[in-house]
A and B are shown apart, each in its own frame.
Chain A
Amino acid sequence: MSKNVCNEEIFKSIFMDLSDNIRNFIYYKCGNVAQAEDLVQEAFSKLWQNCEKVSLSKAKSYLYTISNNMFLNEVAHRKIVLKFEQRHHTIQDKETPEFLLEKEEFRQRIEQAISSLPENQRLVFLLNRFDKKTYKEIAEDLNLSVKAVEKRMHNALKVLRKVHSKV
């Protein structure tokens, strides 16, 4: 059975499989949803154009490499501001208005702190917390050693800890 990337059904399954990973990957780098989603389209477009030269097993690393290159080529001298939303939670009795306000302020500080992390650290941190990837998976995706991933993670947490202790 041919595992040809040029086959529409196979290409679609690659898209369904990897498009949100690539989108998040770029989003964590640039903090801009529209930009990230545009780059996803462009990266897959390149894959489609070159489908004869890329094998199925290499498609994932091809997409990461292409999208990263496209990101670097874009004019990206803005300050990175990642936006997070609060997940749903039920309000419990001991959550007074003051407590909620404090929680909200802390959340904003964490948000800013994550956005201001150096890209290396920010990427690893977000891939682990939001994409739920293990250090091993992140190492594979980014072509690093597990130890390098752990170092970046450690440094990210160190920075966030500084923010916390400013309370």
Chain B
Amino acid sequence: MDKETLYARWLSGDISEEERMALSKSGEWADLESIIKTVDSLQIPKYDRTEGWEHFQKNHGRKDKPKLYSKLFSLKTLSIAAAAMLLIFAGLFLFQDNSTVINAEFAEHTTHTLPDQSTIILNSGSSINYLKDQWPKSRSLHLEGEAMFTVEEGSKFIVHTKYGNVEVLGTSFNVNAWGNDLYVECYSGKVSVENQQDRIILSKGEAIKFKDGQIRNKQTFDYGKPSWQRGMSRFMDTNIFDVFQELERQYDIDIHQNVVNKEFTGSFIHGNLEEALKQICRPMGLKSTIDSNRKSVIIE
């Protein structure tokens, strides 16, 4: 290796044992180290890209282009999902024309008022299905995905999900039924959560997770709204693929990945894709690349 690049290679760690020893002996190593230490304690004036962009736009006149949501595409996939859901629950409900289906599209939250004035807020990509005619005498619905419920006092109110049911008597709670887990948070009143094996009652500030059919320890929390209503999505021991799916729903993107299955505990924010990806990838030692069209992301 040659002398003309010695210090550069010292810095990048690309030197031989011999060179290493020679530099230590001569005191050059110590000198270089103290120089680099001083240099690295400095910083240059910061540049604000957003300001730069705004400046640029001002000088170049903004061309206002109408945003074209591919509404046709969304409607098609949602109606496929809705049809599938109706088929699945055909065994429980007699298939009737007056079944009401409510969906939240990707990157959207949808609010819906039930016939008894209870309200539901659906998280992105979620949907519910119920038979209007049975209300308010019998309050029952099916949930696929995640929703926050505020239930008026009245008859038994049941939320059916793939992996368990949630029963209430007038309270507010969040049900998260993605993947193979059922996660419920109770914000007021009392909630009963059950599957084939277990049943548990939650009070205000309590939460429970049914993972792979097994009940986990009851947890407590002190916020008044689910995290997805406070601009972020939170996860505890959640399968990373489920995390990616939630990311896809919140940002309406496609993720291409070749990641090994792991569990993730943490959260990502809504409304800032770069930051959200950092929040997931950094703790998991993953790298992400956003396509210039900002519609697909590669994670590896």
- Which residues of A does B touch, CB under 8 Å? 1, 3, 8-10, 12-16, 19-20, 23-24, 27, 33, 37, 40-41, 44-45, 48, 56, 82-87, 89, 103, 106-107, 110-111, 114, 126, 128-130, 134-135, 147, 149-154, 157-158, 160-161, 163-165
Q: How many residues of B contact A (CB 8 A)?
A: 35
Whether A20 pairs with B49 at a CB distance below 8 angstroms is yes
Could you list 13 A-B pairs, sorted by A, with CB under 8 Å? A14-B292, A27-B45, A44-B56, A83-B45, A84-B42, A84-B43, A85-B43, A129-B40, A130-B43, A147-B5, A149-B8, A160-B35, A161-B32
Nearest-neighbour CB distance to chain A for B153, whole angstroms, equals: 49
Of the candidates B44, B60, B293, the one whose C-beta lies within 8 Å of that of A45 is B60
Q: Which residues of B contact A14 (CB under 8 A)?
A: 292
Secondary structure at chain B's binding surface: helix, strand, loop or mixed? Answer: helix
Q: Which residue of the partner chain B has the closest CB to A10? A: B292
Of the candidates A8, A89, A126, the one whose C-beta lies within 8 Å of that of B65 is A8
Nearest-neighbour CB distance to chain B for A27, whole angstroms, equals: 7
Whether B52 pairs with A19 at a CB distance below 8 angstroms is yes
Name the residue among B4, B7, B12, B34 with the largest chain A CB count within 10 angstroms.
B7
Whether B52 pairs with A40 at a CB distance below 8 angstroms is yes
Given known pairs A13-B294, A41-B59, the reply for A85 and B42 (CB within 8 Å) is: yes
Please provide the chain B residues from 1 to 43 with a CB less than 8 Å away from any CB of chain A in the complex. 4-9, 11-12, 28, 31-32, 34-36, 38-43
Q: How many Å lie between the Cα of A16 and that of B290 in the bound state?
A: 13
Q: How many Å lie between the Cα of A28 and that of B210 in the bound state?
A: 57
Given known pairs A153-B8, A154-B4, A154-B8, the reply for A20 and B40 (CB within 8 Å) is: no
Q: Which residues of A contact B294 (CB under 8 A)?
A: 9, 13
Interface check B71, CB cutoff 8 A? no
Whether B65 pairs with A157 at a CB distance below 8 angstroms is no
Q: How many Å lie between the Cα of A9 and that of B44 in the bound state?
A: 29
Whether B41 pairs with A150 at a CB distance below 8 angstroms is no
Interface flags for B39-83 (1: CB within 8 Å of A; 0: not) read 111111101010011011001100101000000000000000000
Q: Which residues of B contact A106 (CB under 8 A)?
A: 38
Q: Which residues of A contact B292 (CB under 8 A)?
A: 3, 10, 13-14, 56
Of the candidates A23, A87, A150, the one whose C-beta lies within 8 Å of that of B47 is A23
Whether A165 pairs with B59 at a CB distance below 8 angstroms is no
Whether B65 pairs with A15 at a CB distance below 8 angstroms is no
Nearest-neighbour CB distance to chain B for A12, whole angstroms, equals: 6
Whether A165 pairs with B31 at a CB distance below 8 angstroms is yes
Whether A41 pairs with B5 at a CB distance below 8 angstroms is no
Nearest-neighbour CB distance to chain A for B262, whole angstroms, equals: 28
Q: How many Å lie between the Cα of A40 and that of B65 in the bound state?
A: 25
Whether B38 pairs with A85 at a CB distance below 8 angstroms is no
Q: Which residue of the partner chain B has the closest CB to A135? A: B12
Nearest-neighbour CB distance to chain B for A16, whole angstroms, equals: 6
Whether B8 pairs with A27 at a CB distance below 8 angstroms is no
Whether B53 pairs with A16 at a CB distance below 8 angstroms is yes
Whether B45 pairs with A85 at a CB distance below 8 angstroms is yes
Q: Which residues of B contact A15 (CB under 8 A)?
A: 49, 52-53, 56
